[in-house]
Chains A and B, each alone.
Chain A
Amino acid sequence: MKCAPFDYVRAGSVEEVVKVLGEADGDGKILAGGQSLVPVLALRMARPSVLVDVNRIPGLARIRPVDGAVEVGALTRHSRLVEQTHHPLLAEAARWIGHTAIRSRGTTGGSIAHADPSAELPVVAAGVDATVTIAGPSGERTVAAEELFLGALLTSLDDGDMIVRVRFPLPTRWGFAEFARRHGDFALVTAVVAEIAGSLRITLGGVAAVPQRARAAEQIVADGGSAKDAARATADEIDPTADLHGSAPFRRAIAGEMVRRALAQVGIE
């Protein structure tokens, strides 16, 4: 379990990253916290010809409250998200990521770019309607998180792109519930309830290839229905696949229960 050979570039600026990635012509990879990339390299499931280390680029680890939202620099470590108080939902979600060692290295940009269907930050990003700012060969652009995630470990980022920051709107009310086999494991199911611009969004992680809105459940809540009914609707509207840790019906039930628990946190019983 040792990675295949690669070249290594320590980038000093975002421009340099974009340039080196461009030259690598699709064969380059950004190295941020390394907590997802390095295991994949070790298994030789990824074999980039060049790794671009972004850890020394200045100014990318800021957490900044802006009107109605919090901007999080791509290099912000999960542990910093836990500590910050500007965005309590983000802090709560980050607490659920892995273990101390992983949280002190792993980054927001890395987690969003990696797009693991069971990871916490992508669900929160989709759940609060976050926007992601990306630097690419033709400058910066901003996309909605929901448009970024295309599939499991698959995003709309181009080969030469780098996430520079993510803007997480502040929900007026929120709830967060997660179910995992062990403390610190990737979630079997994550449920995020967030009230954004007056409407309550219910978003699930771990039940599909990308974070999934539970729209039927949202409708029930909007119509004044109970959390129990919303949970039932959730279980019906998702289509999770079975794996080693549980059958599809089990995951449906757990998803419903997590939605119920997250709703309870915003006072919906």
Chain B
Amino acid sequence: MSVDRADGPAAAPRATAPAPASAAEDESGSLGRNVRRKEDRRLVTGHGRFVTDLELPRMRHVAFLRSPYGHARITGVDATAARDAGHRVFTGRDFAHVVLRAQSALPSYIETDQPILAHEKVCFSGEPVAAVVAKDRYRAEDGLELVAVDYEALPPTVCAWQEPREPVHPEAPDNVLLQRTFDAGSVTDAFAAADLVVERELVTNRHAGNPMECRAGVALWDAADGKLTFWNGTQVPHIVRNMIAELMGLSEGKVRVVAPDVGGGFGVKAVLYPEDVALCLMAREMPGIPLKWVEDRAEHLLAAAHARDHRYLIKAGFAADGRLLALEADVTCNVGAYSVYPWTAGIEPLMAGGLLSGPYKLDNYRCTVRGVATNTAPAGPYRGVARPASVFAMETMFDDAAARLGIDAIEIRRRNVITPEDIPYKMPSRLVDDSGHYGECLDKALDALDHPAFRAEQQRRREAGENPIGIGVALYNELTGLGRAASAGPRMPFRTGHDACTVRVNPDGRVTVISGVTSQGQGLETTMAQIVADAIGVRYDDVDVRIGDTDEALWGFGAFSSRQAVIGGGAAHNTAVAVKEKLVKLAAELIEAAEADVRVVDGEVYVVGDPKAQISVAEVARVAYLESNRLPDGIDPGLDATTFFDPIRGAFAAGAQAAAVEVDRTTGELRILKYVCVEDAGRAMHPQIVDGQIAGSVAQGLGGALFEHLVYDDAGNLSTGTLLDYLMPTSAEVPDMVIGHVSHPAANPLGVRGVGEGGTLGPNAVLAGALRDALGIEVNALPISPASVWKELHP
């Protein structure tokens, strides 16, 4: 795969993305430039520090015994043989007093308990039942074979839209853990007035997150201090600290969570899992002995959060001119055996219902969403949460309607899309769109695709009887950087709108940033350093960033909902501005200039109009820490600050994707000839990182559209238990792509919009649309495979 920028090489963003007045924008700034990533020296030279790399004295290794049944009562657990062989064994009874109970104040939500190690019954194949501690992982797995568990099989339910055979939880006899109806306007009347009603049943495919590094943890209980340290490959260390402290009855100050380098997360590492809690509980039972568990790929596919197993019964009414008049949908999301902690079973259904209408104007909307428990692994957050599916459903309506009304598929979208004039636009789910730049993204995408050339080629092939090509497009709005008013998640007992940041100018004038953001490869160290360097006026190379340790950073909710550039970045900027205020005040006194005339550039302090530096930041800092004799009256020692930032609302990021594909009629193979993605990242702080996020998420979306599919058999066993059967896209399958930008700064301190997830939203819809355009066939189930296309061609 290679990436082209639609608007030429980087550097352009400086010109095209004017920074708001609050951010530094002088010649020496690092924002908007592809500065060398701080983390890369370590990551690309093999010096990354992942949880797996952690070696501690006396360390022991943990393996989990997992249920071979999708649904069964546990009638006996006998660990005698394993203990006789010298293993330490923990079973469900040992931790029966602790449960994961994800909370939400939504009226219809039914709270259920997830055990740490199952003891009464198992609810999905792969659920942990016991844990063995041994000298190494090999021996721990030997020990698993010596633990005998008796099961009494119960009938499993794996499909969320079939009658449950036996409830997963007695509290929810119909397996429905949550249901909500979105209702706006007058849907019935609008359908009655429609010239065309299209109706479809669409099923999307179940995914695994599959970061390159699977889950991992090392837990150590220090009995003398009564303190737990948990090195955890998590996206959310502060949430983990908060939850572990609460679950274990510890004070938060006695729990330290460290997320060192983390090799990808994509949402599945934003969940607190029973294995995490088990590790910490076991560590408390074994003081002074670090316990390590590194999930292997088979465990990941079995038991880490799944996603996107949805069915949409969807119906849209259109006027003859293509205007969307009404939308009605019934959305069922398979949430698996348990409500993921702490996000709940609402995470996917509520997102699906809240954003189904996407970037389109719509007054009449009725949508019932439900989260249904089944005997499958719990479903949770995964890059793009629900929207790769909901965008597919929505765009399918337009492709369908366009074909039936004889309107061009692109034109029908233009007639319905929210425009900048409509902003702020209140969506029927009451979310407020602050973007409206979809049309511009679409124009740019079609330009980059060279749409007319492909249309001509399409015609030529039709006439020549060659393999057909088709063009597909999708528009989407990605809700990013959610503040308290739009906060992620379904009315949980916490609001994820803010992050904190500490900025210290050290006595030598260099800067240390201790940020609440976390990184799973997105380059947050770099971004935070750029923001702080520019806000203070020091060189990028003079800023160090420390992240991922709850004993250092005051607070951060972590990585999810494309929030960190906006929120963590905003906190870094505001904090740096606060530090700069003091720096300027102190410097002004020291050089006897007016504060308003002081400028700080590249670590030197200037007075307006004088090209000669008056004093260095290093010297000012030295005074602040070491030479109180030089401190002016009224200025305290030190040069640092800690502040919080909450953008209150969110920032919508507009996006458009388009592709031309070729289909082999004889084999059903689909070849992507060209793929284009244009997004509004607001101001691109580091263009290469932004492009990397977009390219990666499009690749992940293409994987979901064409390959990835977790399949359970009727007995509740996962049929796709290894990467031999669960197909991930490789570099050979991901096409070269063109990435373009429109840059409309958002209303936050840096003018940025999130870019972490949007790319995943388009591919399902784009490829389904392209297939329809090429062959006239309808895609009703994902993924699109040669076999599924072939079947449509040979009914």
A181 contacts the other chain (CB 8 A): yes
Interface centre among B667, B719, B729, B791 (most CB of A within 10 A): B667
> In the complex the two chains form, what is the Cα distance from A2 to B725 in whole Å?
20
* Identity of the chain A residue whose Cβ is nearest the Cβ of B711 in the assembled complex: A244
The answer to whether B298 and A184 touch across the interface, beta carbons within 8 angstroms, is no
**0/1 string, B656-679, CB within 8 A of A gives 1:** 000000000011100000000000
A246 contacts the other chain (CB 8 A): yes
The answer to whether B727 and A253 touch across the interface, beta carbons within 8 angstroms, is no
The answer to whether B142 and A253 touch across the interface, beta carbons within 8 angstroms, is no
> In the complex the two chains form, what is the Cα distance from A1 to B138 in whole Å?
8
The answer to whether B138 and A5 touch across the interface, beta carbons within 8 angstroms, is yes
Q: Please name all residues of chain B whose beta carbon is closer than 8 Å to the beta carbon of A179 when the two chains form the complex.
A: 667, 786
B790 contacts the other chain (CB 8 A): yes
> In the complex the two chains form, what is the Cα distance from A2 to B299 in whole Å?
12
> In the complex the two chains form, what is the Cα distance from A249 to B788 in whole Å?
12
B733 contacts the other chain (CB 8 A): yes
Total A residues in contact with B, Cβ cutoff 8 Å: 23
Instruction: Kindly identify which residue among B296, B719, B733 contacts A244, using a CB–CB cutoff of 8 Å.
Output: B719
A8 contacts the other chain (CB 8 A): no
The answer to whether B790 and A250 touch across the interface, beta carbons within 8 angstroms, is yes
The answer to whether A2 and B137 touch across the interface, beta carbons within 8 angstroms, is yes
**0/1 string, A229-250, CB within 8 A of B gives 1:** 0000000000000001111011
B43 contacts the other chain (CB 8 A): no
A182 contacts the other chain (CB 8 A): yes
Check A182/B707 contact, CB under 8 A, given A244-B720, A244-B725, A253-B666: yes
The answer to whether A5 and B142 touch across the interface, beta carbons within 8 angstroms, is yes
> In the complex the two chains form, what is the Cα distance from A4 to B141 in whole Å?
8
Instruction: Kindly identify which residue among B138, B667, B707, B730 contacts A2, using a CB–CB cutoff of 8 Å.
Output: B138
The answer to whether B297 and A1 touch across the interface, beta carbons within 8 angstroms, is yes
The answer to whether A257 and B729 touch across the interface, beta carbons within 8 angstroms, is no
B97 contacts the other chain (CB 8 A): no
> In the complex the two chains form, what is the Cα distance from A1 to B66 in whole Å?
12
**0/1 string, A24-49, CB within 8 A of B gives 1:** 00000000000000000001100000
Minimal beta-carbon separation of A22 from chain B (angstroms): 28
The answer to whether B732 and A182 touch across the interface, beta carbons within 8 angstroms, is yes
Minimal beta-carbon separation of B337 from chain A (angstroms): 22
> In the complex the two chains form, what is the Cα distance from A44 to B141 in whole Å?
10
**0/1 string, A177-191, CB within 8 A of B gives 1:** 001011111100000
Within 8 A of B (CB), among A206-240: none
Within 8 A of B (CB), among A2-18: 2-5
The answer to whether B785 and A183 touch across the interface, beta carbons within 8 angstroms, is no
The answer to whether B787 and A250 touch across the interface, beta carbons within 8 angstroms, is yes
* Identity of the chain B residue whose Cβ is nearest the Cβ of A246 in the assembled complex: B787
The answer to whether A257 and B727 touch across the interface, beta carbons within 8 angstroms, is no
Q: Please name all residues of chain B whose beta carbon is closer than 8 Å to the beta carbon of A257 when the two chains form the complex.
A: 666-667
A254 contacts the other chain (CB 8 A): yes
B612 contacts the other chain (CB 8 A): no
* Identity of the chain A residue whose Cβ is nearest the Cβ of B726 in the assembled complex: A244
**0/1 string, B705-736, CB within 8 A of A gives 1:** 00101010000000110001101011011000
Q: Please name all residues of chain A whose beta carbon is closer than 8 Å to the beta carbon of B707 when the two chains form the complex.
A: 181-182
Within 8 A of A (CB), among B752-795: 785-787, 790-791, 794
11 inter-chain pairs at a CB distance below 8 angstroms, sorted by A residue, are: A1-B298, A2-B141, A181-B785, A182-B727, A183-B732, A244-B719, A244-B720, A246-B785, A250-B790, A250-B791, A253-B794
Q: Can you add 13 more A-B contacts, CB < 8 Å, to A183-B730, A184-B730?
A: A1-B296, A2-B138, A179-B667, A182-B727, A182-B733, A183-B733, A244-B720, A244-B725, A245-B787, A250-B786, A253-B667, A257-B666, A257-B667
Contacts from B to A (Cβ < 8 Å): 137-138, 141-142, 296-299, 666-668, 707, 709, 711, 719-720, 724-725, 727, 729-730, 732-733, 785-787, 790-791, 794
Contacts from A to B (Cβ < 8 Å): 1-5, 43-44, 179, 181-186, 244-247, 249-250, 253-254, 257
